[in-house]
Amino acid sequence: MDAGNSSTRTLWIAAAAIAAAILAPAAYAHAIGGKDAAFVAATVGPDPLPFMYLGAKHMVTGYDHLLFLLGVIFFLYRLKDVLLYVSLFSLGHSTTLLIGVLADINVSSFLVDAVIGVSVSYKAFENLGGFRRMGVSIDNRLAVGGFGLIHGFGLATKLQDLELNPNGLVENLLAFNVGVEIGQLIALSLILAVMTLWRTTRSFPRFAIAANALLFLAGVVLAGQQLAGFFIVGEG
């Protein structure tokens, strides 16, 4: 009875975390505002440590990125597989984060974030065996790396909104990217710890499908919110 209660409690914690992501305002997905935005706007010249902190904070609070990572590692049991896919994701988002800002590639943040929402639903759908049932075979390595490129543009658009000072831009941008990787490592470690504990319970096989269904729903809601923002705000 105690084991059953513990398993149920674990499921409710996981469901609550995903539900919180669904109900949170879409604009907070990975926005930089308030004192952080004021600091960035006032910075002239290299200031790597604060930018590293901002990058880490940005990733830890970026629930859209974290939901995608959750989907990626959900059924990965070997550490080398986790490292492979997370590395592909990191390579992708680091590339477009740097190129997007330095080359001043302007894309709609609403549309980029909508695709990020789609990436969450995509991975959940793949975890549920949806593509396999459709007879569609997609290389997960290419998919994760490709969506990493989109996630990087999502990060880039938030920095571009702040109109970074060109003096020290490269150094600060590199520091921000290092911070993003640090934040990702911290968040991923926590996610892996929770997943490892959950996998040892009887509830995991029974509720893994439900958890991915919630993950799929979260991606749909995130994408819908961003598309609504594009048509209401982006074209207003």
The total number of structural domains that make up the chain? 1
Tokens 């597989």 belong to: 81
Residue 162 parent element (H or E): none
Write down the pTM of the prediction: 0.84
Residue 66 domain boundaries: 2-234
Which is more confident, 39 or 25? 39
Q: How do residues 83-137 score in pLDDT, each as one tens digit?
A: 999 999 999 999 999 999 999 998 899 999 999 999 999 999 999 999 999 999 8
**Residue 155 near residue 97, CB atoms below 8 Å:** yes
Give Cα 24 distance to the centre of its chain.
14
Closest CA to 71 of 222, 182, 201: 222
